[in-house]
Structure 1
Amino acid sequence: MKRHFKNLGGQFAELRQSIFRIDKMPEPVIAELKETYKIHFDAIRSIQFCFDKQIFLDYQSIGDLGKVHYINPGNPVFDSLVTVVRNLYREDMIKGTVLISPDDKEDYFAFFVKSQIVDNRTSKNDDSITDEKLVMVYQSKDGDFHITSPAKFIDLHTPTEFTKPIEPPAIVSTNDVVQWSFEKITVQQFEDTKAHVKKDSADRKVYLESAFTQVIMDLQIQVQELQGKVLLGDGKVQEKILKKQERITELINKKRSRLESLDLMAQLSPKAPEVLGCAYVVPLTQVEYIGHYGMSRDDEAEAIAMEEAMNYEINAGWKPQDISANNEGYDIKSISPEELKRYIEVKGRSAGDGSIMLSENEMNRLAQLGNSAWLYIVMNCKSSPEVYRIQNPARALKFELKAKGVQYFLPMAEWRNKTC
């Protein structure tokens, strides 16, 4: 999102790691905010924000920069940027891109699909949308399609510059995706929406009948009382009578219009699903990097380090999983109660020097995972273990390339004051 923001002409300053301030909003995003959300950029000029939920949560206990906004799906700025990018790069999105998954075991095509149910009410836009679903549809190796949450895209990563080129297979026809999505998503959505709207419409009709009838009856009683005064010779109330009769006519017409609108709301029809974008998703374990070499390790220290790291996560209320034997590209996958994820590389040291070595492959994987990546360095493994944690180490730390394409050296002095 940051890259797209800049490409559109936006400018922002990084106040600290992963916390930014908007200095210039792209003109297309300003227009979208104003048109769709009635938000003028002057009202949000120079806002501070971050894209990373964990950083946003951690910042709440600090707060020294003032208010920081979490920019995520559902936020007007985020959604406006997505809309602008989607409109500008629609053809490229349909052609597809390559994303990397740290969780999946097989490669697949993923499609971002929008399914809508519309009614017959007039709208300033092309359609009056009654219900909308955004889903991720993916095609497995056997050719079958499946549904999952679009939130899965959050865990996917774009390839880094040192990833070897990935050539996707021939893309499936979007017509096949649309047809399957209509049968498996839209048809059921249509039935569910009909049932919901039928009940909602009936409830609203009862309320409208009751509310309007009561108000109209009250006005009619007031008119009768005023007409009685006219018979007694009070000619000054005639204007009041006319105004109340006009109000009664206005309410009758408004009631009729509301009831007609409810009838139109109940006249539903499904739209053909729309494929908003496509991606070829590759498991992290299948990604190859330039210059992949292994390295030796102290198995006893590493085993103690893994145990300490697992215990740290458990004590913090997370659910860690030891996958060090699975060649996933990291040692631990840990999930918080809020479904946040950490992909943790663990290094153990038994001596006083906490300097470590990372293979180029390990460095590549850490860089690939960005802020989701963590490096846990466990000191004094064979005496009194201490855990030190660094988020996004490929960015936060300066490594020394000791042998071209072989390994990276991280001096203890470099990481010691940058732990969490």
Structure 2
Amino acid sequence: FISFGHPLFEALIEWINRNYFTKLQKGAVFEDPSGRYDGVLWFFEGEVKDGKGSIAGKRLMAIYDNGKELNGVNPAILWDFVPQDSNEPTKLDITKEKAQEYSIDAVSAYKQEIFKERKRQGEIKRKYGIKSLEYLIGELDVDLAELYEREARGEKVDIAIRNKEERKRQYEETLKTLQKEIEQEISLTISMPKFLGAILVQPTTSKEMISNEEIEMIGMVIAMGYEKTQGREPEDVSKENLGFDIRSKGDLPAQAGGETRYIEVKARKDEGQIALTLNEWFKAKRFKNQYWLYVVANAVKNPILYIINNPTENLKVQEKVEVVRFVVPLEEWKNKGVKV
């Protein structure tokens, strides 16, 4: 299995960057089958370094600009768009200057995330590392004081003294190094975000996959309400494009048998086929039995909730490559879903 960090994979990425980076910066055109996006997605790479000059973190940032406002989105949203074969140059009224400014703020916020975690780790090092070394140095001081007294009385303890003094010196050096390291690790700086490229996203002209936000909101309310009745604590993450809409946690921790559900919510005004995006499908395959599909039928007048566990294993779908969607027929989700 080849993944990030594997020499072959990293070499491939480097080769692609070297040969196609300029083309990447020229941009591309995509279509959004859901009809939600109509604007430009800017991609930047943000980097944070610590006081040692080491990279504390890197983050790929996607910034959506609809010409009126800018919002950070999950870069994985690219999976949900359809590339368009267009060689015609496209003139944009949107420039990247505002996106560049937004990216700086985003990297600054990322730096604060890293700082918070580094500070927590530093407190642990101070609590256990520094205090332990200070205790050991104190113990050696007591031992040395006793040895110096014995030496003054004429006893031959010079070897023991040298050993203790050497050990104390080593501990003191380690203490200084650790103190300096802790300070360096929380001394963070950001560099100017690197512009990687941009894509123009156009809404689809087909109505087949267009989503209705009002209907979807009804579905979210019903799904969240159901989770609460089951004693779980649902969190709405639908705006983060994680491949699921709700992260729902049980009262107990995982090691004690508690459950975390990753829930994708689909709502219909009446009844009909539903579609999963590529990102949702990938997450369903990854989380398996922790992934749930909640379908709310007749959402406006008489909502009925159907729940399906592990949809990639339990549902037969039709893959529609042209709209990067996995379509679940009405009979499939209705017959295999549990009505609650």
> Which TM-score band (shorter chain)?
0.5 to 0.7
Residue 253 (str. 1) matches residue 165 (str. 2): no
Tell me the alpha carbon deviations over residues 65-88 of structure 1, each in whole angstroms, 9 at most, x when there is no partner.
xxxxxx5x7888766644553354
Q: 2: CA distance between counterparts of 1:154 and 1:233? A: 81
The 5 A counterparts of 1:72-221 are 81-82=12-13, 84-121=15-52, 123=53, 128-140=54-66, 142-159=67-84, 168-170=90-92, 172-183=94-105, 185-190=106-111, 197=118, 201=122, 204-221=125-142
Select which of 360, 367, 371 maps to 2:321.
367
- Compute the displacement of 1:97 (Å): 2.1
Q: Alignment partner of 1:86: what SS?
A: helix
Quick check: 2:273–2:327 contact (8 Å CA) kept in 1?
A: no
Select which of 162, 175, 183 maps to 1:242.
162
Quick check: 1:158–1:368 contact (8 Å CA) kept in 2?
A: no
Q: Alignment partner of 2:60: what SS?
A: strand
- Compute the displacement of 1:131 (Å): 4.4
Residue identity matched to 1:158: P
Tell me the alpha carbon deviations over residues 156-181 of structure 1, each in whole angstroms, 9 at most, x when there is no partner.
3434xxx5766543374433321232
Q: Which residue does 2:194 correspond to in 1? A: 274
Q: 1: CA distance between counterparts of 2:111 and 2:88? A: 39
Quick check: 2:61–2:103 contact (8 Å CA) kept in 1?
A: no
Quick check: 2:274–2:330 contact (8 Å CA) kept in 1?
A: no
Select which of 261, 265, 290 maps to 2:185.
265
TM-score for the superposition, normalised by structure 2: 0.55
Larger gyration radius, structure 1 or structure 2: 1
Residue identity matched to 2:60: L
- Across the two proteins, how many residue pairs are aligned to each other? 246
Select which of 321, 332, 348 maps to 2:274.
332
Alpha-carbon distance change, 170 to 103 in structure 1, aligned in 2, over 3 angstroms:
same
- Compute the displacement of 1:214 (Å): 0.7
- Compute the displacement of 1:261 (Å): 2.8
Residue identity matched to 1:221: V
Moved more, 250-259 or 73-82: 73-82
- Compute the displacement of 1:155 (Å): 2.4
Q: Alignment partner of 1:104: what SS?
A: coil
Residue identity matched to 1:177: A
Q: 1: CA distance between counterparts of 2:32 and 2:117? A: 37
Return 5+ residue gaps in structure 2 as ranges.
208-262, 286-292, 294-318
Residue identity matched to 1:110: L
Q: 2: CA distance between counterparts of 1:77 and 1:158? A: 27
- Compute the displacement of 1:197 (Å): 4.9
Return 5+ residue gaps in structure 1 as ranges.
1-46, 50-70, 288-316, 343-364, 380-384, 388-420
Q: 1: CA distance between counterparts of 2:270 and 2:88? A: 25
Residue identity matched to 2:61: V
User: Identity rate of aligned residues, in percent?
Assistant: 17
Q: 2: CA distance between counterparts of 1:189 and 1:210? A: 30
Q: 1: CA distance between counterparts of 2:180 and 2:46? A: 26
Q: 2: CA distance between counterparts of 1:378 and 1:190? A: 49
- Compute the displacement of 1:110 (Å): 0.9
TM-score for the superposition, normalised by structure 1: 0.46
Q: 1: CA distance between counterparts of 2:138 and 2:19? A: 56
Q: Alignment partner of 2:322: what SS?
A: helix
Residue identity matched to 2:69: D
Quick check: 1:94–1:276 contact (8 Å CA) kept in 2?
A: yes
Tell me the alpha carbon deviations over residues 92-146 of structure 1, each in whole angstroms, 9 at most, x when there is no partner.
221112334332334321122223333322x3xxxx3344433210111x34221
Quick check: 1:86–1:276 contact (8 Å CA) kept in 2?
A: no
Quick check: 2:274–2:327 contact (8 Å CA) kept in 1?
A: no
- Compute the displacement of 1:255 (Å): 1.3
Tell me the alpha carbon deviations over residues 245-297 of structure 1, each in whole angstroms, 9 at most, x when there is no partner.
1121122122122222333334333322222232222334469xxxxxxxxxx
Q: Say which structure, 1 or 2, has more relative contact order (CA 8 Å, 6+ apart).
A: 2
